[in-house]
Amino acid sequence: MYDQIRGDTLLAIFYGGVTVMAMMVSCYLLLRRANAIAPEITPPIRLRRWTGVFFAFIALNNVWYLQIIFLDSSDDIKMADLVGGLIVNASAKG
C-alpha cells in the first residue's frame, strides 16, 4: 500500500493544494474580524478561533504526512506514520 503512494505527482499537487487552502482558511479565521462574504453577519469570536485552530491543525497534519510522498522506503513511511500517531496520542493525553 505504501509503495503505491510514493511517486504520484498528481497526489502531491492536490495534497499541497489542500494544505495551502487549510492554511489560508486558518489565517482568515484567526486574523480577520469581519466576515468578507456577508459583513453584516458576525459569528461568535470563540467559534471563529476554534475553527481557525482546527484548520491550523489540519494544515500541520498535512505538512507532517506530506513527507510520505517523498520518502524512499516503505519502512521510513511506516516509521513516520508511527511517530505521527504517537505525537497525536501524547498530545491528546495532555
CA distance 38 to 20: 24
Q: What is the pLDDT along the chain (94 residues), one digit of tens a residue?
A: 555 555 567 777 888 899 999 999 999 999 987 777 888 888 888 999 999 999 999 998 888 777 766 666 677 777 777 777 777 777 666 5
Q: How does DSSP classify residue 37?
A: S
SS3 40: coil
The reported pLDDT for the residue numbered 42 is 82
Calpha distance 55→52 (Å, rounded): 5
10 Å CB burial of residue 4 (0-12, 13-18, 19+) is exposed
Q: State pTM to two decimals.
A: 0.67
* C-alpha angle 46-51-53 in degrees, rounded to nearest 5: 95
